[in-house]
Chains A and B, each alone.
Chain A
Amino acid sequence: MNGEPVVRVENLHLWFGMLHVIRNVSLEVAPQEVVVLIGRSGAGKSTLLRCLNFLEQPSSGSITIDGLRVDIPMGQQPDSRRVRDLRLKTGMVFQEFNLFPHMTALENVIEGLVTVKGMSRDEAIPIGEINLARVGLSDKRDEHPIRLSGGQKQRVAIARALAMEPKVMLFDEPTSALDPELIGEVLSVMKQLAYEGMTMIVVSHEMSFTREVADRVIYMDQGEFIEEGPPDKIFGEASDPRTRQFLERVF
């Protein structure tokens, strides 16, 4: 893991009114690295993730992804074209899937290629099919989301993000909305992605997944990084009492 980091966050702040939700966070993620953010709800994990593609507008700081730097001068709107370019370098998977219900699985996957990247449908369809195959859903290509199980929906959502060839995948609690028996299929797709060398930032409570796949675990509390390290270290011998307390309660 060397070379330029794929993601670099510098001195990021986010305020919701008088709530300081993200407190001066800096983060670098190397190519092919898998970072898992853990922490109690309200700690700012999802918010931080959503700042990376500006679904949440940070209050100040800077975000660089794959060499494209977007500065947020305090209290100002960043350039919207740059924000859009930055979003194209990220793929996001949501807790609630957020598939487009009026499109089939395949149409969901190729939507960005056609509308955003300007490909013709004929060009986009093979790419869509490849990505549906990657998540094991080739046979569902013509189904609307309403006909898919939660696990299948989430896998289509992953395929939709992958089709855009992002430099980093952001997973926002991708299994939290799933029935227990459907979690495995989503996690195994994510594992496979990690082994293929995808750079990933994951907000997750899945202990065994984190142990197996994460290169680095970051424990967050009150909008700050409290402790970070390889999973063995964090889960085995966390040095900060807050981290230990959290891990005891959750796992």
Chain B
Amino acid sequence: MSEPILELRGINKSFGPVHVLHDIDFTVRAGEVTALVGDNGAGKSTMVKSIAGIHPIDSGEVLFEGQPVTIHSPREAADYGIEVVYQDLALCENLDIVQNMFLGRERGKYGLLDEADMEQAARKTLASLSVRTVKSVRTSVASLSGGQRQTVAIAKSVLWDSKVVLLDEPTAALGVAQTRQVLDLVRRLAEQGLGVVLISHNMNDVFEVSDRIACLYLGRMAAQLPTKDVTHGQVVELITAGRSGDLGIARPETATI
């Protein structure tokens, strides 16, 4: 078991009268894939956005590498090495792979772009992730498949010495072969020592790549367990009812939302 790299302690978040996150405890470990599961509206996205600095938290503590931190903006999150790959990817279709990977953080002096340097770095990053599906790093994103785009978005997030990568349903819209490639990529990120958080609805994906499963139920953390200690059925029960036997919330609240 490795060191926790990112830790949430007792996080609360409300939008007006709606209490979305209740006393969330959550740990991300370096070199591990932590799957974050939960039904629609359980608070997964809110939790990710709180970590990314998009939604400020109301109370609770965030520890990064053991130090308490407050993250006010996506930029600050990126400065700590926390990257989020959102479901809609947000790539610039007209730009090529290199241009997208370096967007906003272009290399070069005096405002001029050092294309050769960026191209080389992009190639190196893709190679280190054993990405072989893209023929040329100068292909425009518009002509890439869904899986390749996901790959570019993920590779973009690890280009920057990042330590934690949060992936929001990276396989949601992909076919079988492409899902396979992205899951391999997720695994490789963890092997490179990053803390990976994988949000997914797909139990097969979750069991295949994750080391731990964290299950949200109506804004509460129902359980966070090593993947090998739970079964499919238990996780599904945790997602739908918030408890499964001895696991989960002791007295699940009635669904009011």
A and B interact physically: no
Which B residues form the contact surface with A (CB < 8 A)?
none
A residues lining the B interface (CB < 8 Å): none
